[in-house]
Structure 1
Amino acid sequence: MNFDRWKSQDDYTYAYKIFNRYHTYMNSLYWSYAPAFVNSQIMYSKTKKEYGPLPTTHHLFNLSGSNSERVASNLDDWSRHFKEFDNWTRLNALLSLNSYFEIYLSSVVSLAVESDIGLQFSASKSVDGLTIVKNGNPKRYSFFDISKEITMGEWSKRRKRFKEIFGSAPQELTTYEKDLETIRSIRNRVAHSFGRDIEKSRSRSQTDILEIERISLKRLQKFMSIIRTVARSIDEQLLNNHIGDYEAVFYYHEIKGNLPVNNHVKGFKKELNSLYVKQKSALYCEELIDYYNSL
């Protein structure tokens, strides 16, 4: 395939590739912990059936060392604490999920506006943003302020602003708006009030620990699936309509000074193909460089 500035050879942006890596990483972390929790609870239940007087937690798990005294010695107390921690682990997984999703949103939205700078004047693709990157002041060339409007506040307002900027919004933002708002609300409670109701936690008359937010594994998995679906739909729209092959040309802009003069195209091809699954040809790289030089 030949180089086409407004048509990407790839199926997703590099920003989405990083998001997907975080998504996989978080999934791997949780499932490295899950078997240990299940196994410990099986051991606890088995011990309760087999023993008359229950052994201490320290005896059952052979605990010793300077921190062993921090573990509840009563087995029932320990099991209750661990179940609470299990729930807390899922809540924090959701907090992380929301965080790397919003980092992705900030990255891909600013990337799209940076690429198709005419969006700010309702004149999409009238000016290639690379022209300003190449010839302008890079310190003044940033659109993260615009992206903040998509990563802050209620999702109904975010969807409306997305549509204002890009002319339309993926159907998934409407379909899953209620779920996205639920995720945002839980995230705020976990981040700002230990998973409790924020207003009740601030009450001066509150003297007891409030009940923590509960989230099941099934619900967490549902939210993780929704976030990936929404991210993919946003990526597809912005890549096809406003980003195209911007990332590849921008990458050339960043590294061109470090490429060998006598083998410029081959050197760029090697560097570019180290980033993507779909390998680019020498002709593609040559046409990309020619395009950049014409700006």
Structure 2
Amino acid sequence: MLSKSKIEFDRWNARQGISSWAFQVFQKHNKELTEMYISHLLSKQYTYKSLTENNAEFKDLAHKHFDFRDNSYSDVFNNIQIWSDNFNKFDNWTNLNAIMAMSANLETYMATIIKLALESDIGVTFNATRKIDGIEIIKNSDKYPFELEDKIISCTKGDWSSRVSNFEKIFTFSPTILKNNISSLDKIRKLRNDIGHAFGREIDKSRNHNVLAPVETQTIKQEKIIEYLKLLFAIARAIDKQLMSNNIGEYQVLYFFHRLTPFLKDDENISRKIGNHATLLKKELSKFGDNRVGKLFCRGLVQYYWNLK
């Protein structure tokens, strides 16, 4: 029989080991990208292994070893060498697009978690962290009264030196791993822009109108992809830990409950009302996918919410 959770609700102190829901989504996207990328690596390995086992030579006609389901493509590659050259280009193109995907994942996560932190602790922008509870503003306002977009953009657009500087202006400090990897992050940013805006070529060179030949595609190795995946994951985790510990606390669960309140029944018996609402909150959180809260925690959260003016 499972023991009851003894964890109590603490507004500004997130439960130990709890990451934000935004980070959990980031993790899932990161896992998805990693699995797709590894499946590509395995396919590449298997293809070349099969060709070797079938005694293929680079001078062989491609259709000797490949089944072209569409005959219109059968003459694209005269031999295995030409196929291999193009496959390696595709392999590099896959690497480049992996950079774009992982970079976008980090920036989406950062925009989400920074917005969450500012909503929770808007006082941090006035050098008065934790002095204003964002959920109290949400509870009493039809529309959030503070404009956050400019601050979010300042941390997610431009070069990484300015992003980190703006992050520190808002939140006082930033994770060491973020500050120590500005150079690598800028390399990723520039590469992502080249991929997105110039077909994987350097943007400035690609916009030269006095040429007829295409600019060479930039190359990136598999080892660098794995290195960047690990780095961006570690940076996101460090940001999450800082903002959850200092500015967010249990805001995301409070906001979850706030959105339930229009559907809750009122009760003149305060104790019964809190108990019923806590039971429903626990049930809805479980359906949502967060099973790490107990009745004691939910009761404390509900009581805290209704005690807010």
Letter in 2 for 1:202: R
Q: Is the 8 A contact 1:269 1:281 kept in 2?
A: yes
- The partner residue of 1:43 within 34, 46, 50 is 50
Q: Is the 8 A contact 2:14 2:249 kept in 1?
A: yes
Q: Which runs of 5+ in 2 are unaligned?
A: 1-6, 267-272
8 A Cα contact 1:57 1:72, kept in partner: yes
Give the superposition deviation at 1:247: 0.3
**2:13–2:249 CA contact under 8 A, matched in 1:** yes
One-letter amino acid of the counterpart of residue 131, structure 1: E
Alpha-carbon shift at residue 189 of structure 1 (Å): 0.7
Distance in 2, Cα, partners of 1:61 & 1:69: 9
Give the equivalent residue in structure 1 for 2:162: 157
Check conservation: 1:112, 1:243, Cα contact below 8 A: yes
The change in CA–CA distance for 1:52 and 1:7 in structure 2 (over 3 A counts) is closer
Indicate the larger mover: 119-128 or 141-150. 141-150
Quote the Cα distance in structure 1 between the aligned partners of 2:59 and 2:85: 18
Which stretches in structure 1 are left out of the alignment for 5+ residues? none
What SS is found at the alignment partner of 1:4? Answer: coil
Q: CA deviation at 1:264?
A: 2.5
Which of 246, 254, 258 is residue 259 of structure 2 equivalent to? 254
Identity %: 30
Shift of 1:61: 1.4
> Are 1:21 and 2:34 matched, yes or no?
no
Instruction: Give the CA deviation at 1:69.
Output: 4.2
RMSD of equivalent CA atoms: 2.1
**Code of the aligned partner of 1:19:** F
- Answer whether contact 1:16 1:231 (CA < 8 A) is retained: yes
Instruction: Report what 1:168 is aligned to.
Output: 173
Q: CA deviation at 1:194?
A: 1.0
- Structure 2 letter corresponding to 1:251: F
TM-score (norm 2): 0.88
Mapped to 2, the partners of 1:255 and 1:283 lie a distance apart of 18
8 Å CA contact retained: 1:106, 1:144: no
1:61 corresponds in structure 2 to: 66
Q: CA deviation at 1:137?
A: 2.8
More helix as a share of residues: 1
Deviations 1:96-142 (A, max 9, x none): 00001100000001110110011121111111011111111326556
Given that residues 133 and 141 in structure 1 are in contact (C-alpha distance below 8 angstroms), is that contact kept between their aligned partners in structure 2?
Answer: no
2:15 counterpart of 1:2: no
What TM-score does the superposition give when structure 1 sets the normalisation length? 0.92
How far, CA to CA, are the matches of 1:15 and 1:53 in structure 2?
52
Q: Distance in 1 between matches of 2:227 and 2:10?
A: 37
* 1:216 maps to 2:229: no
- The one-letter amino acid paired with 2:281 is F
Q: Are the counterparts in 2 of residues 110 and 142 from structure 1 also a CA contact under 8 Å?
A: no
Distance in 1 of aligned mates of 2:59 and 2:219? 32
Number of the residue aligned with 1:107:
112
Q: Which moved more, 1:151-160 or 1:274-283?
A: 274-283
| Superposed displacement of residue 190, structure 1 | 0.6
| Number of residue pairs aligned between Structure 1 and Structure 2 | 293
Query: What letter corresponds to residue 177 of structure 1 in structure 2?
Result: I
- For the 8 Å contact 2:12–2:249, the answer to whether it is kept is yes
- Partner in structure 1 of residue 277 of structure 2: 264
- 1:226 paired residue number: 231
Counterpart residue identity of residue 292, structure 2: Q
